[in-house]
């Protein structure tokens, strides 16, 4: 079976950065926090983290993810393409 080497896509010397998943695990993520106008009335942002599926649980919802010193809660997991990479939808924990 062919095993993809995804590490090249999550090189912290390029676009990825370290994040702390579920309190103790350091994983590489590509973080994004684009502007979001919620309901047309609230100026907000939509934080997401792209990471390897193997680095998180099959259902990581509810677990904490600390990025750049900010603690987020994982609210949803969206498998990308073949599922080897997942997009995590995040919400600030406080």
68-72 long-range Cβ contacts below 8 angstroms, 24+ apart:
68/17, 68/31, 72/47
Please tell me whether residue 75 binds another protein under the rule CB under 8 A. yes
Least Cβ distance, residue 77 to another protein (angstroms): 13
Q: Toward another protein, which CB reaches closer, 66 or 84?
A: 66
Report CA-CA distances (Å) from 42 to 22, 36, 85. Answer: 29, 8, 31
Which x/- pattern, by CB under 8 A, does the window 32-51 give for another protein?
A: -x--xxxxxxxxxxxx----
Residues 55, 25 contacting (CB under 8 angstroms): yes
Q: Toward another protein, which CB reaches closer, 1 or 41?
A: 41
Which of the ranges 3-11, 15-23, 53-61, 71-79 carries the binding residues for another protein, by CB under 8 A? 71-79
The site for another protein (CB under 8 A) is made up of 33, 36-47, 73, 75-76, 89, 91-94
């Amino acid at each position: 079976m062919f095993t993809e080497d995804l590490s090249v896509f999550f090189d912290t010397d390029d676009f990825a950065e370290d994040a702390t998943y579920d309190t103790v695990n350091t994983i590489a993520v590509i973080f994004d926090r684009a502007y979001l106008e919620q309901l047309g009335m609230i100026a907000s942002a939509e934080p997401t983290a792209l990471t390897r599926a193997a680095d998180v649980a099959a259902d990581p919802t509810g677990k904490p993810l600390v990025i750049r010193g900010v603690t987020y809660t994982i609210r949803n997991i969206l498998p990308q393409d073949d599922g080897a990479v997942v997009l995590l939808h995040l919400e600030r924990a406080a």
